[in-house]
Each structure stands twice: as C-alpha cells, then as structure tokens.
C-alpha cells in the first residue's frame, strides 16, 4: 500500500493537468509496475495489420458518432422487441462449428441457444428476415465507419446471452477493425473483460474495443442480456490501408481462404 501511495503521489501533479484518457493510461502504467495488471497485445487469428494502436477499450473521443448511436437506444430496444416477437425472425446459435474441429473452449456453447444472435447484417449482406423489423437501427448503422468488404463486412447483430452463461476468453480474426457494443437489455452484474480491464455493461452506454485482445463475458443473472454488436474500421488506418485490407480479405473470402 505504501509503495502504491508513493507512486500515486509521484504522478499526482502530472495527472492534475492530464486528459481523462491520459489519466487512464498513467494509472495503468502504475498497476502494470505493481503487477496488478499486465500488458495484453493484439493476437488476431487471421489478419494482423502492423502499426495499429493496441487498446483494450478505445477512448470515446476517437468516435464522435457515439453520442448519436446512444441517443437511438430506446428506438433500438423497441425494434429489438419487435424482431424478437416476429414469427419469421431468425435466431441462431452464436457459435456453430463442426464437432471434429479442435475448438474445445467453445464446446459447451457450440450450437447452444444459451448464446444466440439475431443478425441484421452478416458478411456484408442484410438478413432480411430480421432487418425488415429494424429499419431505424439499420439507418443508424449506415452512419458508422463500418468496413465494406464483399462476403466479409459489415456485420451487425443483437447478441443474446442467457442467464448464468459465461463466454470463454478468446480473440477475434482481424485487428484492422474494432468492435462496438451498445447494451440494450442488461441485468445487474453483467460484465465484460478485455485484457486487464473489466467493465459492466450499462444500457445505452456504448463501448468500442479491440476484439483481437483476449476478452470474455459473463451474465451472472437469471435474466437475458442483449447487446447490439457491430464492426468499425480501426481509426489508425488510412484510406489506402483500408483499401488494401479490403482487397486482401475479399480475395481470401473469394477463394475460401477463411
């Protein structure tokens, strides 16, 4: 405790004139030194673009459109309820893979209705059975900097996590894009860890994170949790770099390389 207090005292004057994001990083600098946290890095399963900033949760200041997204929360909740009650809506397991594949961490959730998705846009194409119930949500999503890659992106869905279900630690496929969450239905205690940082979802408070950094989630309640999930370009990428990523990913998709 004394060591921690001395460290805090040493940086107090600097923090007094720092931004919120700078304070966050300085505090993490201290906890890393105290070995209460450790560095986590981007470890995508498929595509790694060099030189991009590695942040577990990216600061809100980088995404000025977040306010408009959050302002649409009530409308999205209404459309979520509409699509959930629609007779022809498509609700699918979030995890689906062949049983012979070596993916043991996902085995308890494979084809399980404990973690499901209502896809609005999947691999760049609207899922009409669901999308037609959510015109307002799709209009908002069109204003976001989502990747547009044939047979790959954009993607957007309502993610439904059942009571008492834990999503195991895992990483995403491509660090050239980040992932956004807009919580819509959140029982008490639902948490989300990315790297060394754990946050609790709050209805209407969006998060932007790097899913190629190890992350996991838990719904400890006895009620359903629902979050809107969508992808966006990593803001460090230039237009030329976005074009290069799009071309390479599209080529892999076209040849069955993914």
- List pLDDT tens digits, range 69-109: 999 999 999 999 999 999 777 888 865 654 433 445 544 55
Contact between 82 and 184 under an 8 Å Cβ cutoff? The reply is: no
pLDDT for residue 59:
96
Nearest residue to 233 (alpha-carbon basis) of 176, 189, 159, 184 = 176
Q: What residue numbers bound the domain in which 235 lies?
A: 60-254
Contact between 54 and 167 under an 8 Å Cβ cutoff? The reply is: no
Nearest residue to 250 (alpha-carbon basis) of 126, 155, 151 = 151
Dig out the tokens for 183 from the structure.
């919580």
pLDDT for residue 114:
77
84 domain-assigned: yes
- List pLDDT tens digits, range 46-74: 999 999 999 999 999 999 999 999 999 99
Looking at the structure, tell me whether residues 16 and 125 fall in a common domain. Answer: no
Instruction: Tell me the average pLDDT of the chain.
Output: 91
Looking at the structure, tell me whether residues 191 and 249 fall in a common domain. Answer: yes
What domain count does the chain have? 2
Looking at the structure, tell me whether residues 67 and 165 fall in a common domain. Answer: yes
Looking at the structure, tell me whether residues 9 and 128 fall in a common domain. Answer: no
Looking at the structure, tell me whether residues 22 and 124 fall in a common domain. Answer: no
Looking at the structure, tell me whether residues 70 and 140 fall in a common domain. Answer: yes
Looking at the structure, tell me whether residues 81 and 171 fall in a common domain. Answer: yes
Looking at the structure, tell me whether residues 93 and 197 fall in a common domain. Answer: yes
Looking at the structure, tell me whether residues 20 and 83 fall in a common domain. Answer: no
Looking at the structure, tell me whether residues 15 and 86 fall in a common domain. Answer: no
Looking at the structure, tell me whether residues 21 and 65 fall in a common domain. Answer: no
User: Which residue in this structure is represented by tokens 């399963």?
Assistant: 45
Q: List the single range of 62-71, 80-89, 125-134, 145-154 with lowest mean pLDDT.
A: 80-89
């Amino acid at each position: 405790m004394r060591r921690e207090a001395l460290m805090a005292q040493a940086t107090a004057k600097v923090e007094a004139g720092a931004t919120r994001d700078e304070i966050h990083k300085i505090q993490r600098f201290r906890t890393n030194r105290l070995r209460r946290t450790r560095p986590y890095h981007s470890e995508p399963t498929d595509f790694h673009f060099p030189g991009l900033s590695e942040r577990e949760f990216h600061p809100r200041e980088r995404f000025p459109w977040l306010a408009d997204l959050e302002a649409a929360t009530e409308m999205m909740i209404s459309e979520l309820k509409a699509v959930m009650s629609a007779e022809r809506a498509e609700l699918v397991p979030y995890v689906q893979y062949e049983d012979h594949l070596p993916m043991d961490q996902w085995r308890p959730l494979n084809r399980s209705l404990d973690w499901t998705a209502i896809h609005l846009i999947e691999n760049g194409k609207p899922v009409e059975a669901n999308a037609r119930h959510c015109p307002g949500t799709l209009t908002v999503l069109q204003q976001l900097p989502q990747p547009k890659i044939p047979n790959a992106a954009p993607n957007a869905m309502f993610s439904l996590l059942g009571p008492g279900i834990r999503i195991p630690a895992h990483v995403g496929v491509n660090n050239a894009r980040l992932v956004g969450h807009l919580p819509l239905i959140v029982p008490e205690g639902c948490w989300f860890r990315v790297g060394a940082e754990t946050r609790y979802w709050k209805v209407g408070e969006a998060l932007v994170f790097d899913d190629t950094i190890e992350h996991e989630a838990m719904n400890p309640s006895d009620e359903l949790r629902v979050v809107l999930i969508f992808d966006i370009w990593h803001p460090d990428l230039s237009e030329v770099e976005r074009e290069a990523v799009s071309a390479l990913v599209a080529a892999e998709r076209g040849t069955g390389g993914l």
